[in-house]
Amino acid sequence: MTEGYRLQLGLPANLRAEAARLYWQAFGSKLGLVMGPEPKALAYLHLVIRADHAIIALSDSGRLLGLAGFKTPQGSFAAGSPAEMRASYGPFGGTWRARLLGYLSDEIDNENFLLDGLCVVADQRGHGIGSALMGAIAAEARLRGYGSVRLDVIDSNKRAQALYDRLGFVVTKRAEIGILRHIFGFRAAVTMIRQV
């Protein structure tokens, strides 16, 4: 059953741990070998999440139902610095993790507003929350002066690709990750853009 919900810009401090868990549930399958074990990954995400770089869906009772993170020149929702990575994983563990994650994406796009992850809790998927969050991302993009939203989705995430197709996103690029597929568990990142 779908809960009533509202969208808001920004993540309240009391929901940081819940947001870290939701993000990990959504992306842990591709990041697990690099960011695991799970307790360390959750601690790292809790540390680096930028509360001002997310639009969230909250139930009427205050439960976090979903979130859409975004990137700006000032930072990214869930990407910390190499120093924060070393603080969480130690000097050696933090250094190799930061390098591997840097191969996935460390860019800022001055032409498009960048999505940094869309997550909806499992029992609320398929009820329009993801679409509503993406609509809010499009509105935020317009507010910030962008004419389009860009996202990258892994080639094996067909459910997300189908949502983005329905919302009018168009594939503009497919980037194979080569040998890193053995670490991250997918073959390519698909870039999609939608005009707003």
C-alpha closest to that of 32 among 159, 188, 195, 185: 185
pTM of the model: 0.90
pLDDT for res 6: 97
Find out whether the peptide bond into 37 is cis, omega within 30 degrees of 0.
yes
The predicted structure's pLDDT at residue 65: 98
Q: Which amino acid is at 116?
A: D
The 10s digit of each residue's pLDDT in 4-50 is 899 999 999 999 999 999 999 998 887 878 898 999 999 999 999 99
What does each C-alpha distance from 102 to 3, 38, 69, 94 come to in angstroms? 37, 20, 18, 12
Quick one: fold of 5-195? Answer: Aminopeptidase (3.40.630)
99 contact partners, CB below 8 Å, separation of at least 6? none
The pLDDT value recorded for residue 196 is 94
| Helix 82-89 with 91-104: angle, nearest 10 deg | 140
- Beta strand 113-120 pairing with 148-154: parallel
What are the two backbone dihedrals, phi and then psi, of residue 22, each rounded to the nearest 5 degrees? -65, -45
DSSP 3: P
Look at residue 182 in the predicted model and tell me its pLDDT: 64
**Average per-residue pLDDT for the chain:** 90
pLDDT of residue 128: 94
pLDDT tens-digit readout, 108-124: 677 999 999 999 999 99
